[in-house]
């Protein structure tokens, strides 16, 4: 059995992992608060971080923005056209939330795994195009 690695991750790698973890926290436990911390992290570290960290910071921030916009817009449109008292509206909203939210969570887990491996990542459909890094 190979020995366990006890060496700490480089600071850059920890920052990439933190960005992806904040994305997941924003979706799961602390919406708004985790997003604010992610925004602060992006603003303060995007210029000084390495390319992999910049990639994860940008991807997590843009994906969080898309997740919020999708949640608000789809809910508003469904309620506008279906009404609060229509059971079909609520079935649609529950299905939408279950399918889209779980997909965004799965993508966040994939991004977290890639950050832990020190690799770049792009969120499918909602993520900005990954710049070419040396």
> Which tokens in the block code for residue 95?
């299905």
Length of the chain, in residues: 134
**Rounded to whole angstroms, how far apart are CA atoms 12 and 49?**
7
- Give phi and psi for 130, each to the nearest 5: -75, 130
Could you tell me if 62 and 126 are in contact, meaning their C-beta atoms sit under 8 angstroms apart? yes
In a 10 Å sphere around its CB, with 0-12 CB exposed, 13-18 middle and 19+ buried, how is residue 79 labelled? middle
> Which tokens in the block code for residue 118?
């020190």
Could you tell me if 29 and 105 are in contact, meaning their C-beta atoms sit under 8 angstroms apart? no
pLDDT by residue for the chain (134 residues), tens only, comes to 454 444 446 777 899 999 999 999 999 999 999 999 999 999 999 899 888 899 999 999 999 999 999 989 999 999 999 988 999 999 999 999 999 999 999 999 999 999 999 998 888 777 777 665 44
Domain ranges of the chain: 11-116
> Which tokens in the block code for residue 37?
């911390």
The pTM assigned to this predicted structure is 0.84
């Amino acid at each position: 059995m190979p020995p366990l690695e006890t060496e700490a991750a480089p600071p850059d790698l920890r920052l990439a992992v933190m960005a992806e973890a904040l994305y997941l926290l924003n979706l799961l436990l602390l919406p708004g608060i985790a997003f604010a911390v992610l925004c602060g992290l992006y603003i303060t570290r995007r210029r000084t971080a390495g390319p992999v960290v910049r990639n994860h910071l940008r991807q997590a921030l843009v994906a969080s923005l898309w997740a919020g916009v999708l949640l608000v817009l789809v809910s508003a449109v469904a309620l506008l056209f279906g009404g609060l008292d229509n059971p079909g509206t609520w079935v649609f909203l529950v299905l939408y939330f279950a399918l889209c939210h779980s997909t965004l969570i799965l993508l966040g887990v994939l991004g977290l795994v890639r950050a832990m491996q020190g690799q770049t990542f792009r969120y499918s459909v909602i993520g900005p195009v990954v710049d070419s890094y040396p």
